[in-house]
Amino acid sequence: DSKPGILDDSDGPRMEVSRGNANDGGIEYGRLPFHRGGRDEFGDEENLAVAIAVNDVDSTFIPSAIQYDPDKKPPIYQNRRFRLYMCSGFVLLIMITLAVSFAVSRNVGSTSNSNNIQSSLRTDSPTFSPTLSPTTANFQGIIGEISKLTDVALFNDINTPQGKAFKWIHDDDPRQLSARDDFLLQRYALVVMYYSLQENGPWATCGEEDNSHQNSTLCDGRKRIFPSGVDEVVYEVVPDEVKWLSAEHECNWFGVYCDLDDSVVIIEIIDNNLVGTLPRELSTLTFLEYFRISFNGLRGPLPVWFSECRQLRDIELHFNQFTGPIPEAIYDRADFERINLGGNMLSGTISTRIGELINLKGFFLHENAFSETIPTEIGLLSPDTLAYTWWHQNTFSGTLPTEIGNLNKLREFWFFNMGLSGNIPTEIGLLYDVEFLRLESNKFSGKIPEEIYNNVRLTNLYLSNNFLTGTLSSNVKKLVDIKEISMKTNFLTGPIPDDFSNLNSLDMLWLHYNNFKGPVPSSVCTLTFLSLTDLHADCLKGGNLPARNECTCCTVCCESIPGGLCYLMN
C-alpha cells in the first residue's frame, strides 16, 4: 500500500517533458499543481505520527573499529596538498624550459631572415636612401608585409613599379603608415597600379603631376560621356577630385570607391591615358567588386588573378590592347555579373566552360579576333539573367547554335559580322524579351523564320547583308514596337507587304538591293507622315532595266542592278 505523504508512480498526474515543455494538459511550464506532502494534499493530517515496524534481526555488516590518534600526523608524501604543489611545480618547470628554448631558436631564425632580406636590399650603389634606418622594426615590418605580395627583387629595384611604390610608401607618403596598419597593402597595391600604368607618360587627369587645381591635393577629373547622335569623344569635367599619391586616404583618390570599412570596392578610371600591364598586387583587394578601366591602353594577357578576387562581380576592360585567349580561370567564378572584353586584340576559341557563368547579366566579346565555332554551351550562359550579349566583329565560323533559344531573358543580341552561315534557327523566336536583334553581315541563307515575328518586343531588327531568300511574311505586323528594320542586300522576292503600314513606331525601313517586285504600297507611304523618316527601296531604273519598286515617298532610291548607286530623293 502507498503511504500518506509519499508520491508513488500512481499518485497524482504524470508529467512528460518534450523540448522543455510539459505535455499534460493540466500542467503548465513543467510545474506540478500541488506541493508534495503539504497541506494542500492532506489537510490537517500532516501532523499525525506514523509508526514504522522495525525488524528484530539486523543483517547490516559493521566493520571493526579502528583506534584514532588525533595527535598523529600522516607522512608528508601522503598529504594531498603537498602532492598537488609538487605536480604543479614540475609542470611549471617544463613550461619555462620549453618557452626559453623556443625564444632562443626564434631569435636565431629571425636574425638570419633579417640578415638575408637586408642583404638582398643592399646594392653596390643604393637606389634610394630610406628616411628611416633599415634596422628599425617598422622598416622590417613593412618589408615583411609587402613581401607577401611582391618578390623582394622587384621592390628592391627602383626602376620597377613595385620599387617605386615601396619607396613612396616608406619615404614619401605623408601618411607614413606603420607595418601594422590594416590598409598598408591596400595603399601599396594602388600605388603599384599607378606606377604600372604610366608607360605613355602621366595620366590625363588626377595623377601625381596634375596641377589643374589651385589646391595641390585636388584635381579636375573628367568623365567620358556618350551623348546620342554625337560621334566624337565628349568629356564631362568632374571638379574637386583628389589626386593619386596625395596625403588623403586612398579611398578618396579619383576613381576609387570604398565601403564603410574603407576597403576598396570599386576602381573606375575611364579614358585617362592609363597605359601598361595590370599588376598582380591588385589581387590583395579582396573586397573589390567593380573593376572598370575601359578606353585606355592596358596591354598583355588578361590577368589570371581576377578569379582570386572573390567579391569581384564586374570586369569592364573594353577598348584596351589585351591579347591572347580568355584564361580558363575566369570560368572558375560563377558569380560574375558583367564581363566586357570588347574592343581588344583577344584571340583563340571560346571555351565550352562558358556555360559555367550562370549569373551574368552582360557578356561582351565584340571586336576581337576570336575564331572557330560558337560552343553549344552558350545556351547555358546565364539563361535566367543574361540580358545583353555582344559578339560581333569576330572571325567565327559555323552556324548559330539552336541553344540560343534558352536565353529567353535577352534584350540585346548582337551577332553581326561574324562569318556565321546556315539557316537562322527557328529557336530565335524564343527570345521573347529581345529588343535589339542584329544578325547582319553574316552568311545566313534560307528563309527568314516565321518564329522571328514572335519576338513582339523588338525595336530594332537587322538582317541585311546575308543570303536570305523567300518572301516577307505578313506576320511582320506583329512587331508593333519596331522602330528600325534593315533587310537590304539579300535575295528576298515577292511583293513588299502593306502590313508594314501597321507599324506606327517605324522610323527606318531599308529594303533596297533585293529582288522585290511591285511598288512600295501607298499605305506604307502614309507612315512618312507619322514616324517613317528613312525609307530605302530599289526605285530607280538600272541601265535599261526598269525600277523594281516604284515609290513616291522613299527618302533614298537605289538603282535596280547589282551594285547600283543610291540617291537621296527630295
Segment 176-213, tens digit of pLDDT: 999 999 999 999 999 999 999 999 999 999 999 999 89
CB count within 10 Å of CB 291 equals: 22
Q: Is the pLDDT of residue 39 over 70?
A: no
d(CA 483, CA 510): 12
Q: Of the ranges 41-50, 162-171, 191-200, 490-499, which one carries the lowest mean pLDDT score? A: 41-50
Q: How far, CA to CA in Å, does 277 sit from each of 162, 301, 302, 311, 314?
A: 13, 9, 9, 22, 19
d(CA 464, CA 536): 13
Give me the chain's average pLDDT, please. Answer: 83
Q: Of the ranges 23-32, 418-427, 537-546, which one carries the lowest mean pLDDT score? A: 23-32
The full DSSP string for 290-316 is EEE--SSEEEEEPPGGGGG-TT--EEE
d(CA 257, CA 255): 7
DSSP annotation of 537 reads E
As a whole-number percent, the residues of the chain with pLDDT over 70 amount to 77
Q: Is the pLDDT of residue 411 over 60?
A: yes
Q: Of the ranges 114-128, 276-290, 377-391, which one carries the lowest mean pLDDT score? A: 114-128
Write down the pLDDT at residue 194.
Answer: 98
Write down the pLDDT at residue 225.
Answer: 87
d(CA 497, CA 506): 14
**Residue 98 DSSP SS3:** helix
Q: Which of 561, 520, 512 is nearest to 537 (CA)?
A: 512
In this predicted model, what pLDDT tens digit does every residue of 330-371 receive, in sequence order?
A: 999 999 999 999 999 999 999 999 999 999 999 999 999 999
Q: Is the pLDDT of residue 516 over 50?
A: yes
pLDDT range class, residue 80, cuts 50, 70, 90: low
Q: Where are the domains of the chain?
A: 1-56, 76-119, 291-534
In this predicted model, what pLDDT tens digit does every residue of 111-131 receive, in sequence order?
A: 444 444 343 433 333 344 344
Write down the pLDDT at residue 232.
Answer: 82
Write down the pLDDT at residue 285.
Answer: 96
Q: Of the ranges 117-131, 243-257, 480-494, 543-557, which one carries the lowest mean pLDDT score? A: 117-131
In this predicted model, what pLDDT tens digit does every residue of 456-506 receive, in sequence order?
A: 999 999 999 999 999 999 999 999 999 999 999 999 999 999 999 999 999
**349: exposed, middle or buried (Cβ count in 10 Å: 0-12, 13-18, 19+):** middle
Instruction: Tell me if 544 sits within 8 A of 558, measured CB to CB.
Output: no
Write down the pLDDT at residue 249.
Answer: 97
Instruction: Tell me if 333 sits within 8 A of 313, measured CB to CB.
Output: no
CATH fold for domain 291-534:
3.80.10
Q: What is the end-to-end Cα distance of the chain in Å, rounded? A: 122
As a whole-number percent, the residues of the chain with pLDDT over 90 amount to 69
Report which secondary-structure segment, H or E, holds 465.
none
Write down the pLDDT at residue 103.
Answer: 56
Write down the pLDDT at residue 229.
Answer: 75
* Mean pLDDT score, 91-114: 57
Instruction: Tell me if 443 sits within 8 A of 467, measured CB to CB.
Output: yes
In this predicted model, what pLDDT tens digit does every residue of 225-237 receive, in sequence order?
A: 888 777 788 999 9
pLDDT range class, residue 110, cuts 50, 70, 90: very low
d(CA 51, CA 44): 18
* Mean pLDDT score, 497-518: 96
Q: Which of 499, 443, 429 is nearest to 471 (CA)?
A: 499
pLDDT range class, residue 562, cuts 50, 70, 90: confident
Pure H helices in 125-213: 137-146, 152-155, 161-167, 184-196
Q: Is the pLDDT of residue 418 over 80?
A: yes
In single-letter form, the type of residue at position 517 comes to: K
Write down the pLDDT at residue 105.
Answer: 53
* Mean pLDDT score, 516-525: 95
Write down the pLDDT at residue 44.
Answer: 41
Write down the pLDDT at residue 82.
Answer: 52
